[in-house]
Amino acid sequence: MMANYRIRTDLALENTERFTQDHVEIRGVVIRENYDEEKDIRTTVVKIETENGAKAMGKPQGTYITLEAPNMSIPDEDYHREISEEIARHLRRLIDLKRERSILVIGLGNREITPDALGPNVVGNLRITRHIIREYGVSGIGEEQAHRVSGLIPGVMAQTGMETLEIVQGVVAETKPDVVIAIDALAARSTRRLNRTIQITDTGINPGSGVGNHRDALNRETLQVKVIGIGVPTIVDAATIVHDAMAHLLDTLDEAEQKEFLEEMISPHLHSMFVTPKDVDETVKRLGYTISEGLNIAFAEV
């Protein structure tokens, strides 16, 4: 039955769950999980090492780090500081920050639509240093060594008439960063992961993929530079919620009846509808600050 039902998710972790539930081993995919009981943060690292693994997962080869924190949506400054420190720790592992780097942070999304405003919020809270260092040197920010951090909020095609990739390619060609970090809102399979999960990956990002607006990817192939993607799921496909709400009824039906039932109840228009928590306004602002603090911590030392 699940083969006929399309799961929409941007999280590599949720893609692996499709296989683990059926006790199927994914060749070419390595999964490591760690739970920090003191911080109440679960970290899952999914490494897709082969082309066959990438095909099975529907994701590019690379590393996907997922932080799950049940209390992430709660306004607890100390807890969010711990999450920021975890983000910084993983970024240092994915990026060589032991020497001075030029880093371009892209805030993807539409700041006028709250669930899609994560990227712009992150860039708005960043400590931007490139312009100061270019003008006064690192002494201008009171350091002996420092990373040159710049930010860009390219908007969306409806606002600019341009592909995000076109804008970013132009900026990358002009500023020549060593690494690009792209921040975007994602879609999840499970409502319990909304605004409680952060995914960090070294494979880049596909703007708009969570809501079915497939734009050109931002990755090493398209930008000719290392691209790190960071995202938080802020929406769930409405059809997924309908499916889950009816799951207990489907167990009493055979496979043919299940398929017919789903086709009747989950009409095509539901796949263009998305659901987000009612407190998404303040939550996205808080998460934007948490991620930006993680970046600021990671970039603070050389």
Query: What number of other Cβ atoms are within 10 A of residue 85's Cβ?
Result: 15
pLDDT tens figures, 92-127: 999 999 899 999 999 999 999 999 999 999 999 999
Burial of 251: CB neighbours in 10 Å, binned 0-12, 13-18, 19+: exposed
Q: Position of tokens 């990002």?
A: 205
Residue 210 has pLDDT above 60, yes or no: no
pLDDT tens figures, 46-100: 999 999 999 988 899 999 999 999 888 888 899 999 999 999 999 999 999 989 9
CA atoms of 148 and 43, how far apart (whole Å): 29
CA atoms of 268 and 68, how far apart (whole Å): 31
Q: Within 13 Å, how many C-alpha atoms sit on residue 202's CB side?
A: 17
Q: Are 154 and 168 in contact (CB under 8 A)?
A: yes
Q: Output the pLDDT for position 5.
A: 47
pTM above 0.95, yes or no: no
- Name all domains of the chain by residue range, CATH numbers in brackets: 2-238+269-299 (3.40.50.1450)
CA distances from 218 to 101, 207, 209, 229, 286 (A): 19, 8, 12, 9, 25
- DSSP 8-state code for residue 286: H
